[in-house]
């Protein structure tokens, strides 16, 4: 038994670790996977599920290691370097650094084919792991103990990867750790060890290749590449690429530096740079809040304009590290600057201060906020509720400024409309650019405030500012759908599933229909729709929980880990209840499950804001995950009775993969409405259970 549990622990641990590793690494190196973030997760689930269906066949772990080699080589290859461009030409969604809009579907089809190829490699790589897991669970003499070991190991896998993230470990270290655990399951033949060792060396050589940049850092969120910056041939600070695309610069715009090079840096232009311009609209500058403070340019701009105190909020500690070490003006070292590592929305809820100016820096990160859904770090920053909270932090004459790279007309209309709705007046809207990016990369600036009349007077009384605003004015006569906390999809034009998603999802469904006869054979087994619908509902509910928790606690990586951990802990508690309390019927727990989902739908989470942080954390974790606790009891009661544990688990994981596809319906309905889908799926799971205890329905 100890050896059996050890094997079960290790395979469960490494599957979760490898799953997060691939989500993080692939979505960084092939950026399109940051826009369809749960695609890698779905491939992992399907691979494990299919593996469970074939657990009676001998697995070959060399397939997993071989697929890892192919994935690593594919990610580094020329075609995969351009897959994002191939899939980014659609006009109804935005991909950063996207290709020129085109009606030619050939690149999109090529990109889809490459995406499916990556999906299949991941899926195939996880099949042997699923075979091992399915067999170990099926052979376990105490299934509650076995499943608890599986869940506990998954929890440890999450926190092991978090530990690597905490210490900024690079991908080659992740892969070394993963391969060492996988070696435990290899057969003891010399040939297998030679092949696995050769493959591992190749993986490490490719992932450990030194970057040509000055510095490469893997923060808990993203890959940061630093290289020297030049403006018209003159060295000035550094450029930071995030996930392999240009993102920010660390510029020296101090008086001393500009006065040395008046032909390149005209002092008259600095007054209208994106970092200095907001202060032309503000009379009092005692207190300033900068969200999305980045490497320090916005903070340096604030310091040049003399506020008494500056709160700088940045979600990525790695970027703050770079700003502290490399920014030419050293803004983060000044006493009047207080740096907070947090999500903007979380800071809005926590701070008791009022500000003369709140500045939204370039917060368009296009980086995943979680490994378990398609939301991104900046999604909840640009919503109606977010701007309402920000306005509540402004003083009576306070001013709010937003700088954004509006790649499409409808994104500009959206931000314009959000500010107009929250402040009751149209914002000042104008383009901010400088020759050769000498004063920053620019964008469109939106500027408004609590006292619109006072703001207008300041503009009218400053002829140079008035002339600048008029000459660079941008008009947004249209009305794009406004984003909200329920529909936070800033980079999607309207309430519909974007064509890029439809193309990929449709291709995956066709692929599944083609393969289903192979998977659900008499030899492989039949799908249990009771477990299928339980898995489907679980992943949709998990997406809900992660999304809602970020609104209360922020989109930080550690918050997401807490939520996923609390889910797994509640599943363990459900296992304990089934193990030590005599429970015979599922129906009472189904009723509790349905009621808890309905409560989630109708009870607003704002009621928990009245409590202190730790009380709120405990209450919200329990409230959000209560349905998962009841579903966990139901799952374990059914799992105990299942004649084939491997087929039950496989059905559950394949169902979870389909639940991931259903997540895209939130692009149409909003996030909250998915709870109705969750409720329906749990009802279906009950109907298939009551039709006949765990009757296998042939696919």
Domain ranges of the chain: 1-212, 265-471, 526-699
Q: Comparing 58-62, 238-242, 269-273, 386-390, which segment has the lowest mean pLDDT?
A: 269-273
Confidence of residue 1 (pLDDT cuts 50, 70, 90): low
Mean pLDDT over 13-23 rounds to 95
User: 35 or 76: whose pLDDT is higher?
Assistant: 76
pLDDT band at 699 (very low <50, low <70, confident <90, very high): very low
Q: What is the pLDDT of residues 35-70, one digit of tens each?
A: 876 889 999 999 999 999 888 888 899 999 999 999
* Domain 265-471 in this protein, CATH class: alpha beta
pLDDT bin (cut points 50, 70, 90) of residue 97 is: low
Residue-wise pLDDT tens digits, 318-340? 999 999 999 999 999 999 999 99
Contacts of 5 (CB under 8 A, 6+ apart): 145, 146, 149
pLDDT, position 368: 56
Task: Give percent of the chain above pLDDT 70.
Answer: 93
Distance CA 535, CA 31 (A): 28
- Give mean pLDDT, residues 459-468: 94
Please compute the mean of the pLDDT values over residues 113-119 and round it to a whole number. 93
- pLDDT for res 247: 79
Whether the per-residue pLDDT at 309 is higher than 80: the answer is: yes
Instruction: Tell me yes or no: is domain 526-699 CATH 1.20.1250.
Output: yes
Considering the entire predicted model, what is its pTM? 0.91
Nearest in space to 663 (alpha carbons), one of 447, 505, 485, 465: 505
| Mean predicted confidence (pLDDT) in 392-408 | 93
Mean pLDDT of 134-145: 92
Quote the pLDDT of residue 129: 96
Rounded Cα distance, 117 and 86, in Å: 15
Q: Which residue has the tokens 């740079």?
A: 273
Look at residue 371 in the predicted model and tell me its pLDDT: 53
pLDDT value of position 31? 82
C-beta separation of 424 from 450 below 8 A: no
The average pLDDT across 147-159 equals 94
Residues 6+ apart with CB under 8 A from 148: 572, 575, 576
pLDDT digits (tens, 9 = 90+) for 346-357: 899 889 999 999
What's the rounded mean pLDDT across residues 679-686? 96
Query: Could you give the CA distance from residue 143 to residue 156 in angstroms, rounded to a whole number?
Result: 20
Q: By the 8 A CB rule, do 449 and 455 touch? A: yes
The predicted pLDDT at position 248 comes to 87
Q: Check pLDDT > 90 for residue 14.
A: yes
Q: How far apart are CA 2 and CA 653, in angstroms?
A: 26
pLDDT for the residue 102: 57
CA pseudo-torsion sign 138, 144, 146, 151:
positive
pLDDT digits (tens, 9 = 90+) for 579-601: 988 887 899 999 999 999 999 99
93: helix, strand or coil: strand
Task: Considering only residues 94 and 524, tell me which one the structure prediction assigns the higher pLDDT.
Answer: 94
Q: For position 692, what pLDDT does the model report? A: 47
Mean pLDDT of 452-467: 93
The residue that leads in pLDDT, 456 or 695, is 456
**Percentage above 90 pLDDT, the chain:** 58
The alpha helices in 30-60, defined as continuous H runs, are 32-35, 38-53
The per-residue pLDDT for range 494-516, each reduced to its tens digit, is 999 988 888 888 888 888 888 77
- Looking at every residue in the chain, the average pLDDT score rounds to 88
Question: Residue 10 pLDDT > 90, yes or no?
Answer: yes
């Amino acid at each position: 038994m100890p050896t059996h549990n050890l094997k079960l622990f290790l395979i469960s641990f490494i599957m979760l670790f490898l799953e997060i590793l691939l989500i993080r690494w692939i979505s960084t190196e092939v950026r399109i996977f940051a826009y369809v973030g749960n695609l890698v997760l779905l491939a992992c689930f399907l691979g494990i599920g299919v593996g469970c269906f074939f657990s009676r066949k001998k697995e070959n772990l060399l397939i997993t290691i071989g697929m890892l080699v192919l994935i690593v080589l594919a990610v580094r290859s020329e075609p995969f370097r351009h897959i994002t461009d191939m899939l980014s030409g659609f006009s109804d969604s935005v991909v950063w650094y996207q290709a020129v809009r085109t009606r030619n579907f050939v690149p999109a089809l090529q990109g889809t084919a490459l995406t499916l190829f990556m999906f299949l490699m991941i899926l195939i790589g996880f099949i042997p792991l699923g075979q091992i897991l399915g067999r170990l669970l099926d052979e376990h003499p105490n299934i509650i103990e076995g499943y608890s070991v599986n869940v506990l190991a998954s929890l440890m896998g999450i926190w092991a990867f978090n530990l690597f993230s905490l210490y900024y470990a690079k991908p080659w270290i992740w892969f070394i750790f993963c391969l060492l655990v996988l070696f435990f399951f290899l057969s003891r033949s010399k040939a297998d060890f030679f092949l696995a060792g050769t493959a591992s060396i190749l993986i490490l050589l490719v992932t450990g290749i030194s970057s040509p940049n000055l510095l490469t850092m893997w923060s808990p969120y993203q890959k940061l590449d630093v290289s020297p910056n030049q403006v018209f041939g003159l060295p000035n600070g550094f450029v930071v690429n995030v996930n392999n695309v240009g993102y920010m610069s660390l510029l020296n715009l101090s008086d001393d530096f500009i006065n040395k090079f008046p032909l390149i840096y005209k002092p008259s232009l600095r007054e209208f740079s994106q970092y200095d311009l907001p202060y032309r609209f503000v009379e009092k500058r005692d207190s300033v809040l900068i969200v999305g403070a980045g490497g320090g340019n916005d903070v340096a701009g604030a310091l040049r304009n003399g506020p008494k105190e500056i709160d700088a909020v940045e979600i990525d500690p790695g970027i703050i590290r770079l700003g502290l070490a490399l920014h030419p003006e050293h803004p983060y070292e000044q006493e009047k600057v207080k740096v907070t590592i947090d999500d903007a929305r979380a800071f809005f809820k926590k701070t008791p201060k009022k500000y003369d100016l709140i500045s939204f820096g370039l917060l368009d990160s296009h980086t995943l906020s979680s490994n378990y859904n398609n939301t991104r770090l900046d999604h909840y920053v640009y919503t109606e509720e977010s701007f309402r909270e920000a306005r509540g932090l402004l003083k009576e004459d306070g001013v709010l400024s937003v700088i954004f790279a509006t790649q499409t007309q409808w994104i500009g209309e959206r931000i314009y409309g959000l500010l107009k709705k929250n402040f009751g007046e149209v914002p000042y809207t104008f383009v901010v650019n400088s020759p050769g990016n000498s004063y920053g990369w620019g964008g469109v600036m939106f500027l408004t405030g609590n006292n619109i009349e006072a703001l207008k007077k300041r503009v009218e009384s400053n002829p140079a500012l008035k002339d600048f605003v008029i000459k660079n004015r941008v008009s947004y006569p249209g009305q794009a759908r406004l984003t909200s906390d329920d529909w936070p999809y800033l980079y999607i034009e309207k309430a519909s599933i974007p064509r890029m998603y439809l193309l990929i999802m449709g291709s995956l469904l066709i692929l599944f229909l083609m393969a289903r006869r192979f998977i659900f054979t008499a030899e492989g087994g039949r799908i249990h729709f009771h477990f299928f619908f339980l898995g489907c509902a679980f992943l949709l509910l998990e997406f809900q929980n992660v999304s809602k928790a970020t609104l209360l606690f922020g989109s930080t990586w550690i918050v997401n880990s807490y939520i996923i951990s609390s889910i797994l802990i509640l599943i363990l508690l459900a296992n304990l209840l089934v193990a030590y309390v005599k429970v015979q019927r599922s129906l009472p727990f189904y009723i509790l499950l349905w009621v808890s989902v309905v409560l989630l739908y109708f009870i607003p989470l704002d009621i928990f804001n009245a409590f202190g942080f730790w009380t709120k954390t405990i209450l919200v974790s329990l409230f959000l995950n209560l349905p998962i606790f009841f579903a966990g009891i139901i799952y374990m009661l059914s799992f105990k009775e299942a004649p084939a544990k491997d087929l039950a688990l496989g059905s559950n994981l394949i169902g979870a993969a389909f639940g991931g596809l259903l997540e895209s319906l939130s692009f149409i309905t909003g996030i909250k409405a998915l709870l109705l889908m969750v409720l329906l799926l749990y009802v279906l799971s009950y109907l298939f259970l009551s039709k006949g205890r765990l009757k296998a329905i042939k696919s």
